[in-house]
Copies of this chain bind each other. A is one copy, B any other.
Amino acid sequence: MANITKKVSWSSRADESGATGEGTPLLNGSGQPRYCRQLSGGSIFQVGRLSTVDLEEEISAEEDSLRGRLKEIPHNEKLLSLKFESLDYDNIENQLFLEEERRMSYMGFRCLEISRWVVCGLIGFLTGLIACFIDIVVEELAGIKYRVVKENIEKFTEVGGLSISLILWVVLNSIFVMVGAIIVACFEPIAAGSGIPQIKCYLNGVKIPRVVRLKTLVVKVAGVICSVVGGLAVGKEGPMIHSGAVVAAGVSQGRSTSLKKDFKMFEYFRRDTEKRDFVSAGAAAGVSAAFGAPVGGVLFSLEEGASFWNQMLTWRIFFASMISTFTLNFFLSIYHKNAGDLSNPGLINFGRFESDKRNSISDSVPVFNILCAGGLLGALFNKLNYWLTIFRISYVHRPGLQVMEAMLVAAVTATVSFTMIYFSDDCQPLGPDHTEEYPLQLFCADGEYNSMATTFFNTPERSVRSLFHNQPGTYNPLTLGLFTVTYFFLACWTYGLTVSAGVFIPSLLIGAAWGRLFGILLASITIWTDSGKYALIGAAAQLGGIVRMTLSLTVIMVEATGNVTYGLPIMLVLMTAKIVGDYFVEGLYDIHIKLQSVPFLHWDAPATSHWLTAREVMSSPVTCLNRIEKVGTIVDILSNTSTNHNGFPVVIQGADGDEPSKLCGLILRSQLIVLLKHKVFVELARSRLTLRKLQLKDFRDAYPRFPPIQSIHVSQDERECMMDLTEFMNATPYTVPQSAGTQTPGGGGRTGDQEGLGQISPGQTRTGGASAGPDIVHTHTHTHTHTLFTNPIIQDYDGF
């Protein structure tokens, strides 16, 4: 891999201009000046790397940020985005594969199918367990922390000297956050953030390094516990999705490369095609465990990942989701000492929303105001976070600095919270059946508690629930207003820190606060009083404005509230938030994906790029191999950085020079590397007849960490040998005529070819491209059907 992991900055400007139809962005190596200019011109996105995506190879961060500042975009487009490879979402239907299939009996396929179900069940179970573990540990540690601080505050409230309490609080928070930041920054930077952008990319078909490794999972789980207990404005829901995905990737392979343990199970699943399916099940199980929303989980996986719909796969995903939420529910009930209650389907529970007699539709006018606010505030949040991330990429890239920043945020969060509580004079009577876990009396009269403290001095999940369900009059408008403003900026500052943390709960909390505020204000002019409902709508609007999901988020919210009648208002709110927000800036995840320079394929190609043809986006001339090729040539092609494709068409040369060569197959870089490693040369096969034939197993064992070409030693003698690729190449790759357009076929298949233009570099030959959708050009070779060209038989479609 190292040979193509050279870090470069690149501009994603190209696809933007494609979207707006300013010009046709071409990457086919024709190198016309206007494209070079376009690629290098005036982009604000040329940041080389985000701290969360790092590579094995070391490159000094200075160099990187320098390049970013100097806008030194490489003018050779061949070097664009060499950082990421794509997953091979196409079965390599070579002779070995077909033979294996042929040998398999009907029962064999049945067993495979059953083991898929078993794996999905396991994924659900383990994801549920992890969620349960996180929840319990957070609960216990946060409980200890809040009790200690509360006692301290109570002690010093009367005697004075609350600054000692503040210091205690700040120190406790900082310690937790420091631990969390250190493990993330030093051990596994990819575990930072919620992990949702990374999983989105993975499901989209981009191989993000180390995203589904065991180490990532461990760091993620420990990190999220630390950051939540550390009192940051974060949630533990987002990371569950990443955790589920890692569990899925691990379980489905039947081995752990990190632990050097091979259980000799599920060997059939050791390829990207199968692994992706399980990862989508894992992500769904994660959502399901986080929100108690199994259907929402399935829809999340489909919305984010799946390009096409397979009934059986979807059932398996649903099965994993169901198992996940029920595992969590079951163990949490035991933990809460009422086994069998099953009232904790997710990490966050919105509590029961009862249907009311009022007509939801009659509220449409006030609700509409919230919708816009959700979109606007979401866009503001995203924009601020975007600038902050740019700043972080430029200046906060050393682990030390990152840890410092995290600790600073923790300290500021604690201080601000304390100050807000301290200066708040919003005292509420403490009812006999109060739900507040840690009611702070502070300067309130006896039997009363500080209302501001219920929102700040609590885990965010509890605060959300309080805002949804506390009786009218629990909060006064000033408290809510102040809380909204401070928490908004704190959450915005927090997201993107080098800690494991999700943005779902902070978003919900902000939205719930201003939603409730809005409800209270509305109640003062109308008879409407159920501000809890407005809190829910506000939460949905804010979350929708930030993450811009609609269908899956609607279902998640509905499942979390447990009341189907809220479906229509929530859906309307989320759609409006998306429309309004998209007008200003992209969703938070998309921003971070873009900042990481991931060649992400969106659902639709830009509308006005429909007449762009394959010819215009492919790279030429094409790097081809012969069916029987010299080892030296192969090694040179693989080593050459200007031809660092991941797949190569295999051709048969015409009899004379004039006659065009004929496509006969496609072979991947990874396959060639395995072949070189095992020295499958024609000459050696002749001399060592006893040598066992290379089998599919050899490819599977090497999967997924194929060595780079540099690590394979090929002697000078061996360079003269020949390799016969016939048996290993995929003889029936997908092809398109070069005049094929980018029309969305079949009623809107996820074409996305054009989107890939400025994003997927020529270095990245996306074979398969399940992410790239059902109908698009999967591979990179096609047989020519046009007579106007002299030698156009094979074309390499690197744009995809």
Contacts and interface: CB of A to CB of B under 8 A. Distances in A.
Contact of A748 (B277, B607, B786): B277
B21 A319 contact: no
Contact of A307 (B302, B309, B551, B743): B309
Contacts of A768: 745-746
Interface stretch (A86-94, A162-170, A190-198, A528-536): A86-94
Contact of A565 (B277, B345, B575): B345
A514 interface: no
Interface string A763-800: 00000101001110010000111110000000000000
A750 B774 CA distance: 10
Contacts of A575: 315, 319
Interface stretch (A438-446, A489-497, A592-600, A734-742): A734-742
A98 to B, nearest CB: 6
Given A355-B343, A737-B731, A746-B768, A106 B308 contact: no
Interface in A702-740: 731-732, 734-737, 739-740
B89 A312 contact: no
A306 interface: yes
A181 to B, nearest CB: 35
Lowest 6 A-B CB distances belong to which pairs? A774-B774, A340-B359, A109-B607, A308-B308, A732-B740, A746-B770
In the complex this chain forms, how many copies of it are found? 2
A360 interface: yes
A554 interface: yes
A155 interface: no
Given A361-B330, A662-B785, A310 B747 contact: yes
B313 A748 contact: yes
Contacts of A735: 735, 737, 783, 785
A749 B774 contact: yes
Contacts of A355: 342-343
Interface string A286-312: 000000101100110011001111111
A450 to B, nearest CB: 34
B313 A303 contact: no
A611 B567 contact: no
B787 A785 contact: no
A318 interface: yes
A341 B315 contact: no
Contacts of A537: none
A743 B555 CA distance: 34
Interface in A321-357: 322, 326, 330, 339-343, 345, 355, 357
A186 interface: no
Interface of A: 20-21, 89-91, 93, 97-98, 101-102, 104-106, 109-110, 273-274, 276-277, 292, 294-295, 298-299, 302-303, 306-315, 318-319, 322, 326, 330, 339-343, 345, 355, 357-362, 550-551, 554-555, 558-559, 562-565, 567-568, 571, 575, 603-604, 607-608, 610-611, 652, 662-664, 731-732, 734-737, 739-741, 743-750, 768, 770, 773-775, 778, 783-787
Given A313-B748, A362-B340, A785 B785 contact: no
A20 B110 CA distance: 13
Contacts of A775: 308, 734, 774, 778
Contact of A739 (B21, B567, B731, B785): B731
30 contacts: A90-B746, A93-B740, A93-B743, A98-B741, A109-B608, A110-B607, A273-B746, A274-B747, A294-B567, A302-B309, A307-B308, A308-B746, A309-B750, A310-B603, A310-B747, A315-B575, A318-B551, A318-B554, A326-B361, A330-B361, A342-B360, A662-B787, A664-B786, A731-B739, A732-B737, A735-B737, A735-B783, A746-B774, A746-B778, A774-B775
B340 A310 contact: no
Contact of A604 (B21, B312, B341, B360): B312
A357 B552 CA distance: 29
A644 to B, nearest CB: 24
Contacts of A741: 93, 98, 732
Given A314-B551, A773-B774, A89 B747 contact: yes
Contacts of A784: 783
A575 B319 CA distance: 10
A519 B279 CA distance: 40
A93 B98 CA distance: 34
Contacts of A778: 745-746, 775
Contacts of A652: 787
A315 to B, nearest CB: 5
Given A93-B741, A322-B571, A340-B357, 20 more contacts: A105-B608, A277-B748, A302-B314, A312-B748, A313-B748, A315-B575, A318-B551, A318-B554, A330-B361, A341-B357, A342-B355, A342-B360, A559-B564, A652-B787, A732-B737, A735-B785, A746-B768, A747-B770, A775-B778, A783-B784
A652 B778 CA distance: 27
Given A307-B309, A340-B357, A747 B565 contact: no
A746 B611 contact: no
Contacts of A749: 308, 310, 774
Nearest to A750: B310
B663 A785 contact: yes
Contacts of A273: 745-747
Looking at A303, A559, A770, which has the most chain B CB atoms within 10 Å of its CB?
A: A770
A568 B124 CA distance: 13
Contacts of A292: 564
Nearest to A604: B312
A554 B276 CA distance: 25
B106 A322 contact: no
Contacts of A303: 311, 314
B21 A276 contact: no
Contacts of A322: 567-568, 571
Given A345-B565, A739-B732, A746 B295 contact: no
A276 B319 contact: no
Contact of A550 (B315, B330, B567): B315
A624 to B, nearest CB: 14
A474 B740 CA distance: 68
A295 B568 CA distance: 11
Contacts of A555: 295
Contacts of A743: 91, 93, 97, 101
B608 A106 contact: yes
Nearest to A770: B746
Contacts of A21: 106
A298 B89 CA distance: 27
Nearest to A571: B322
A253 to B, nearest CB: 15
A550 B319 CA distance: 11
Contacts of A748: 277, 310, 312-313
A360 to B, nearest CB: 7
A606 to B, nearest CB: 9
A800 to B, nearest CB: 14
